[in-house]
Amino acid sequence: MALDEGLYAWVQDSLEPLGPVTMRKMMGGATLYLDGTIFAILDEGEIWFKADAETDAIWDAEGCERFSVTFKDGRVDTMNYRRAPTDVYDDPEAMQRCARLAVEAGLRGAAKKKPRKR
């Protein structure tokens, strides 16, 4: 993954009305959080929004493919993230609409996780 700092700045500016966007760098890319909830990853200059079973039909209708990883042994695995529609890169309202869907998916995912035993 390669991090595009300009893209991160665009996301922050576009989503300012919704709340603070923070970033955690990982493997050259970044995980994005809105008010502490994971909602997207940045990878190779693209935004991938968090998705789940409740939002899959919406992302499918937009033509947003699933994030996939190809391993050295040829295996391919997908993750619950969807490629951002092209309009989010120049339309703050589109960015906000997609981010809201992704935050909702992130909140549902966090609610399903069981607390860790200590």
pLDDT in tens, 25-73: 887 788 999 999 999 999 889 999 999 999 999 999 999 999 988 889 9
Residue 19, both tokens: 């709340």
Structural domain for 88, as ranges: 5-112
> What distances in angstroms separate CA 76 from CA 15, 71, 72, 84, 113, one per listed residue?
32, 6, 9, 20, 25
Instruction: Indicate whether 117 belongs to any domain.
Output: no
CA separation (Å) from 79 to 35, 47, 111? 22, 14, 18
- Give the pLDDT confidence score for residue 1 in this predicted structure: 47
Residue 32 is assigned to a structural domain of this protein: yes
Q: Examine residue 10 and state whether it is found in any structural domain, yes or no.
A: yes
Q: How far apart are CA 75 and CA 82, in angstroms?
A: 19
42 near 4, Cβ under 8 Å? yes
pTM (2 decimals)? Answer: 0.87
Residue 17 maps to which CATH number? 3.30.1460.30
Rounded Cα distance, 23 and 41, in Å: 9
Residue 118 lies in a domain: no
Domains in the chain: how many in total? 1
